[in-house]
Structure 1
Amino acid sequence: MTYPQRMLLENLAWAEEIFRQDTHYFYRLTQTQQPKVLWIGCSDSRVPVENITGARPGEIFVHRNIANLVAAEDENLASVLEYAIVVLRVQHIIVCGHHCCGGVGAALRPPVAGIPRVNRRIEKIRTLSRAHAWELSGLADLDARTDRLAELSVAAQVRHLQEMPLVRDAPTPIQLHGWIFSMGRGRLEPVTPSVWSNDAQRADALCAVA
């Protein structure tokens, strides 16, 4: 049996179990979605959003990319933000990075041949690492530097969100959160204060973290 075949069987078992528990569950899913949260996370397969938060289908609107980056020129991210803010009217946006992040770790090493798009994508993290070179150089090893840079990057991405007109001028203020997933402990932890999209003091609050 191939892995995709196993996935189909697992889905069948899941759907049947849900239907036994609640015969109207899937009908309700077809009607609408009203998530309160937009989650911007990493594509890493070890950070499944619903699993680590206990969320069910329909509760979290999700965008994932390598190293959970927020860039104004990223049309994919911009379209997700636009839909989440204008149509779904989410109340919270969470940027969640994670320890042991391959994209962040790669930004601390020379570019790797054969993955030019990835190298270009993580260049922003390389720039961030240079800005924090003094702090990072004082850490014990590459793993510690990677984990700290992942935290610093989360704070930077929240700042980028606040600078985007789409977020800043949202119809209703949105609370922004920066979290890290500690993979070794399975815990989600805040790495920035929760701030509002229209908060005039937003830069001061986040610069204190990163």
Structure 2
Amino acid sequence: MASNRKSKLSPSASSSSSTCPPCFSEQERQQKILQRQYTDGLSSQMAKNKFEYALKSNEAWAKYKGHQNPAFFQNLATKQTPSILWLGCSDSRVPETTLLGLQPGDVFVHRNIANIISPTDINSMAVIEYAVVHLNVQHIVLCGHTCCGGAAAALGDARVGGVIDAWITPMRLLRKTNEAQLEALEDDGKKAVRLAELNVRWGVGNLMSTWFIEKAIEERRLTVHGVMYDVACGKIRNLDIGTKG
């Protein structure tokens, strides 16, 4: 009986007239193996050295993506056609492509401390102009977030560091301008979140008054959005500011 049961379960015992496909094709099976290597990671390397782990993880990821789609990297090497310009914070907990569930090539990115968008900052303005004028992105997303160290620092006037103090000056000015509503909140955590949101609103206002953005909105319906990302739950909240498209 045992031998009969074994023969019935073996692939060679399947009826030649059966139309049922195998549970997994060989390609699917290989993809699952590669995915497991990528998602499980190389824990021993990670324990020893995070940089070495990152290199090994990249190798596994590149192999997995190439196996999924052999033309994936060749297509990326040809050109980039991102539809979104993401303006965000440098915070390591807010990785735009990951949290949006998108892929390399989908998002053009500029990040800085506290996602401050000032018309006098030629770094951010150069990125924005390139994305709008040359890449023709369809959406600009300015994203603030909870647990923002820059916003927390801007709640007071204590020195953080020479360059950093200069950088967060716009947020400190926002704090002073909106002091009444911030002081009405019960704790510093809520004040920092509110200040981060005010900073997004201020930044969106600066974007909307930039000439090449105004032109793109009028001529090709570029959209501008302000959002907040909640680090504690991983979700984005739309502030419904900017364009309405």
- What is the TM-score normalised by the length of structure 1? 0.89
Q: Specify the code of the residue in structure 1 equivalent to 2:243.
A: V
Structure 2 residue aligned with 1:143? 189
Q: Specify the code of the residue in structure 1 equivalent to 2:200.
A: V
Pick from 164, 169, 184: which aligns with 1:118?
164
Q: Distance in 2 between matches of 1:51 and 1:3?
A: 19
Q: Distance in 1 between matches of 2:73 and 2:61?
A: 12
Structure 1 residue aligned with 2:75? 28
Q: Secondary structure at the match of 1:71?
A: coil
| Cα distance, 1:110 vs structure 2 | 2.3
Structure 1 residue aligned with 2:105? 58
| Cα distance, 1:193 vs structure 2 | 2.8
Which runs of 5 or more structure 1 residues have no equivalent in the other structure?
Answer: 198-210
Q: Distance in 2 between matches of 1:193 and 1:126?
A: 22
Please say if 1:186 is aligned against 2:219.
Answer: no
Report the structure number with the largest CA radius of gyration.
Answer: 2
Structure 2 residue aligned with 1:11? 58
Higher RCO by CA contacts (8 Å cutoff, separation 6 or greater): 1
| Cα distance, 1:61 vs structure 2 | 0.4
Which runs of 5 or more structure 2 residues have no equivalent in the other structure?
Answer: 1-47
| Cα distance, 1:88 vs structure 2 | 0.6
Please say if 1:93 is aligned against 2:140.
Answer: yes
Q: Specify the code of the residue in structure 2 equivalent to 1:71.
A: S
Structure 1 residue aligned with 2:122? 75
Q: Distance in 2 between matches of 1:28 and 1:180?
A: 32
Q: Specify the code of the residue in structure 1 equivalent to 2:123.
A: N
Pick from 222, 227, 231: which aligns with 1:174?
222
Identity fraction in percent? 36
Equivalent residues of 1:40, 1:95 under 8 A apart: yes
CA RMSD of aligned residues (A): 1.5
| Cα distance, 1:150 vs structure 2 | 0.7
Pick from 47, 66, 85: which aligns with 2:94?
47
- What is the TM-score normalised by the length of structure 2? 0.77
Structure 2 residue aligned with 1:157? 203
Q: Which has a greater percent of helix?
A: 2
| Cα distance, 1:173 vs structure 2 | 3.3
